[in-house]
Amino acid sequence: MNLPYRPLVLGISVLAFSAAVLASGNHYYAPVTDPVVREECGSCHMAFAPSMLPASSWKRMMANLDNHFGDDASVDAQTAARIGRYLVANAADTGGRQYAGKLLRGVALDNAPLRITELPKWVREHREVSAREWRNKDVRSKANCVACHSAAARGYYDD
């Protein structure tokens, strides 16, 4: 590529990315960037963006990994501490504030649910999904975001 065109190509790339973020509007949540969190949490399900829940929810969840929604998700103490620190630091009411307001509007942060799928905005956004669709072999769970939102692992939850 001719050198004078590189800034133009870079500029167009930045604009395209910015447009994608703006277009996603209320449906972008910064994805997990910590490799340990991504690996440990992502080994059983998509590693959910920490900004989807407040710190109190993540703390309660991390304190009960031996019964993580019916499964034993226990990890060694050092790994649990690292995951907990990351989730709390990037939670809806801490470092993830710029993404979280839309999802947590009206939710008491000290008594928020542990399941993202129980948040009022999540319920409203998914009210038109039938029980039959949830049971589809490619979906099977309300927590399987990527079944319908192909870019969810990158933080985009638009339809």
Burial label for 10, CB within 10 Å (0-12, 13-18, 19+), is exposed
Whole-model pTM: value is 0.79
In a domain, 127, yes or no: yes
Domain assignment of residue 18, yes or no: no
Q: How confident is the model at residue 48 (pLDDT cuts 50, 70, 90)?
A: very high
Residue 103 sits in which domain range? 26-154
> Is residue 134 assigned to a domain?
yes
Give the number of domains in the chain. 1
Q: Does any domain span residue 7?
A: no
- Cβ burial 24-59 (10 Å sphere, 16+ → b, else e): beebbbbbbebeebbebbeeebbbbbbbbbbbbbbe
Is 123 inside any structural domain?
yes
Residue with tokens 């019964």: 67
The position carrying tokens 């129980």 is 118
Query: Tell me: the pLDDT tens digits for 2-17?
Result: 555 555 444 444 444 4
